[in-house]
Amino acid sequence: MVSTHHGEEELAGLNSVWKTPDSLQRAGNTSRSQDTTNPKAMANISRKLSVSCSRCLATSPESGANRVKRVSIEGNIAVGKSTFARLLQSACPDWEVVAEPVSKWQNIESGASKGTDASPQTTVSNLLQMMYQDPQRWSYTFQTFSCMSRLRTQLQPPPARLLRSEGVPVQVYERSVYSDRYIFALNMFELDCINSTEWAVYQDWHSLLVEQFGHQVELEGIIYLRAPPTTCLERLHRRGRAEEKGVELDYLEKLHVQHERWLVEKSTETHFEKLKQLPVLQLDASVEFKSDPVVQEEFITKIKNFFSAL
Ligand SMILES: Nc1ncnc2c1ncn2[C@@H]1O[C@H](COP(=O)(O)OP(=O)(O)OP(=O)(O)O)[C@@H](O)[C@H]1O
Ligand SMILES: Nc1nc(=O)c2ncn([C@H]3C[C@H](O)[C@@H](CO)O3)c2[nH]1
């Protein structure tokens, strides 16, 4: 019998929070395309910021992939990370901005035949949907896959154009192997959706992988997009990603607390020396920057100053 640290009432509450009708399964792969940021405003920003972003940074004596500065954008669900990432890519075309691999989680292909002669049929599962529908059953599997896919992304060598750029090459990731553990997996453990054995196993292989790949996944800084959970919920509804239909305020509040503990209060127990020292740039993402070029410019200036100081 697995020991738990929350009552049944809370578990029942969590299940109802995430209850999503079966009919919605696999219907949610188009949400990102709805988020196109105002192209005029983007072009405007790009023009104004005519000095290339990389050139703003002091050149480091190191060469090749080692001199790349890596930063992650962290923040609650639907706070606006992808939107902000697109703004950044548009304003700093010589940086590499790497999106969270959500579509991989929504489309896992598997050969379905088990020990028969029949030719294998490909089945596609939506692990994101499965995790939201039945978090106790699927959270550990989800965290395994999400972390692996993040690691794979972070291990990709930088594109040649980045290494050819004049200044220090910059890679910006949407979330990281660290938020996988210290925000989501930890939260799932605290909600009893990951049991203590699964949590021990997760932490064991997470530490091994991060230690093993060491400097290849190390970040130089974190950009924390911060907004009240109510704002995130409102944006989540506006975006309308089908898998997230059952997400309620309570869940976003819990994730908000995890972000605050990790990135503001620094009270989350982390296990990697360098992570503890990482500079964090907080940006007020409650501002409706999507259609406001002035705010966009302010954000970009803050980011460039932050990078220059890293
Ligand atoms: N600053 C903003 N002001 C107003 N609306 C915004 C802002 N940022 C994002 N949005 C809108 O909020 C919704 C969610 O944004 P987005 O998809 O960028 O969030 P996200 O943080 O990347 O989400 P996820 O956590 O799921 O990866 C989108 O509909 C987007 O257009
Ligand atoms: N459980 C869980 N663990 C993660 O590491 C994780 N990373 C992202 N997400 C959810 C949030 C959005 O719905 C959607 C896109 O960000 O995926 C996660 N959920």
Whether residue 197 is predicted with pLDDT greater than 90 in this model: the reply is yes
Question: What value does the mean pLDDT of the chain take?
Answer: 81
How far is the C-alpha of 182 from the C-alpha of 264, rounded, in Å? Answer: 13
In a domain, 2, yes or no: no
Crossing angle for the helix pair 196-213 and 135-155, nearest 10 degrees? 0
Q: Is 31 in the pocket of ligand 2 (CB under 6 A)?
A: no
Residue 10's pLDDT is 33
- Are 105 and 130 in contact, with CB atoms under 8 Å apart? no
Which pLDDT band holds residue 65 (cuts at 50, 70, 90)? low
Closest CA to 173 of 74, 87, 37: 74
In a domain, 1, yes or no: no
In a domain, 195, yes or no: yes
In single-letter form, the type of residue at position 240 comes to G
How far is the C-alpha of 150 from the C-alpha of 204, rounded, in Å? Answer: 17
CATH code for the domain of 140: 3.40.50.300
Provide the residue range defining the domain that includes 79: 9-112+120-309
Per-residue pLDDT tens digits for 212-255: 997 888 999 999 999 999 999 999 999 999 999 999 999 999 99
In a domain, 21, yes or no: yes
Sign of the dihedral defined by the CA atoms of residues 171, 159, 216, 259, in that order: positive
Q: Give the number of domains in the chain.
A: 1
Per-residue pLDDT tens digits for 77-107: 999 999 999 999 999 988 999 999 999 999 9
- Are 86 and 37 in contact, with CB atoms under 8 Å apart? yes
Per-residue pLDDT tens digits for 36-46: 344 454 444 44
Backbone torsions φ then ψ of 72, nearest 5 degrees: -110, 150
User: Per the residue annotation, which of 74, 96, 100, 174 is the catalytic one?
Assistant: 174
In a domain, 298, yes or no: yes
In a domain, 222, yes or no: yes
Residue 66's pLDDT is 61
In a domain, 4, yes or no: no
Nearest CA to ligand 1 atom 16: 80
pTM score: 0.83
Q: Is 83 in the pocket of ligand 1 (CB under 6 A)?
A: yes
In a domain, 212, yes or no: yes
